[in-house]
Amino acid sequence: MTQASFSNRLQRRPFVAELLARRDGALIIPGLGSPTWDCFAAGDSPEYLYSWGGMGLAIPTALGLAMAQPDRRVVAITGDGEMMMGIGSLGVVADQAPDNLGILVLDNEHFGETGKQSGLTGNRTDLCRVAEGFGVEKTLFVTAEDQTDDLVNLLFHRPGPTFAVAKIALSEDPWKLPVKDGVAIARRFRIAVGVDQP
Amino acid sequence: MGQVFDWSDGVFSELKQRDFATVCTVPDGGLTQLLKRVSDDPNMQLVTLSTEEEGMGVVTGQWLGGQRSLLAIQSSGVGNCINALGFPAIMRAPCPMLVTMRGVWGEFNPWQVQMGMATQQVLEAVGVKCFPVDQPEDVRETFVGAVDLALHGGFSTAVLISQRVIGAKGFGQD
C-alpha cells in the first residue's frame, strides 16, 4: 500500500485501550510521551513501564526484558519519532530474535508532543519494509479497525519478534499523565514481574 | 598480549561469579578477548548493539526482568550515551560499564582524541561514577569495586581502561 492510498484515521486512545484489554498478561513497554499517556488513559497497571524520557530506548528496553523473562510476552508500544531515532534497534532485535517480543509503532507521521511538526514517515518511508529488511519478518500494516484481531494476534500471540505499524490520526487528546517517579514506576513493575518483593 | 588475556579473564570470572546474563557491546579492539569469552559461554548472551545508547535500554530491561547486564564499549561510544544515561539513573537501575579508552595515550588516530580526552568529564557530568585504571594488574579489583557499587546501590558506574593497559592501536604503522 502506498502512503497516499489511505488516510490516518485510527483514533489512538480507543485503539490502544482495545489492544491493552486483549493483551493476555503481556508486559508493556510504552515509549516516552504519547504512548505512555495512551496506556495510562486506558487504565493504570503495574505491568506498564511508563516512560517520560530516554527517546529511542523503548525497544532496547523491551528486548532486554524479553530476554530476561522468556516465559512472559513483552510488547513495546512506541511512536514513529522514537522508532526513527532508535531505528537500528530493529537490527539488534532481529539479531537476538526473541520469540516473546512484539513491537507496535503508533504512526501519526508527526512529532505530536512538541508542536505537531512533520515527522519522517509521512512521505516515502515504510517502516514495515524497514523492519523486514532488518530481518523482523512478521509484520502488519494497520490502517483500519477491522484489522484489530490480526494485530492482537501478531503482538500478543504469534512467535516473535513481530512488528506492526498502525497509522493513527494526528489527534488532540486530553492530558492523562501517570506518576513521574522513575524509582516508583520501576519498583512496582519489578514486583509485578515477580523479581522484587512488595 | 599476555596482559590482555590476564585482565579479560579476571573480568570474565567476576561476571560469572555475579551471574551476569548478558554483555551488551559495540566492540573495541581492547575488548576482543572478553567478548570472545562471553560469546563462547553457553550461559551468557552477547548483545551486539547498533549504537551504544541502546545499551542503556537493554541493561535496564534486563534489570527489570531480574537479570544482570554489562555494557562494554569504547570511549568514543560514550558520547552516544549521554541522554540515554538518564534512563537507568531515574529508575535507579544498576548500569555497570566497562570502557576501553581511545584517543588518550599514544593515539595514532587524531579523530579519536576529542571524545577520548573528554570521556571521564562527560560521564561524571551526567552522574556516572568513574574508575580509571592504568595498570593491568588493577583492572580486576577495580572492576569488582565498580560493578558491586552499581549492583548494590543502583548506580551507573564506568571502569575506564587506559591505553596504557590495552596498548595504542597502531593501524599497521608500528
pLDDT in tens, A107-162: 999 999 899 999 999 999 999 999 999 999 999 999 999 999 999 999 999 999 99
What Rg value do the Cα atoms of chain A yield, rounded?
15
Is the CB of B50 inside 8 Å of chain A's CB atoms?
Answer: yes
**CB contact at 8 A, A71 and B98:** no
Looking at residue B166, what is its pLDDT? 85
Q: Half-sphere exposure of residue A108, counting CA atoms within 13 Å on the CB side?
A: 21
What amino acid is encoded at B22 in this protein?
T
CB contact under 8 A, A92 and B50: yes
CB contact under 8 A, B87 and A54: yes
* Total count of residues recorded for chain B: 174
Q: Is the pLDDT of residue B143 over 50?
A: yes
Claim: this prediction has a pTM higher than 0.90: yes
CB contact under 8 A, A65 and B62: yes
3-class DSSP state of B88: helix
CB contact under 8 A, A59 and B57: yes
What are the residues whose beta carbons fall under 8 Å from the beta carbon of B120, sequence distance 6 or more? B130, B132, B160
Helices A58-68 and B54-64: angle between axes, nearest 10 degrees: 40
Contacts of A60 in chain B (CB under 8 A): 49, 54-58, 61
Looking at residue A2, what is its pLDDT? 47
CB contact under 8 A, A64 and B62: yes
Chain B residue whose CA is closest to A50: B91
Contacts of A96 in chain B (CB under 8 A): 45, 47
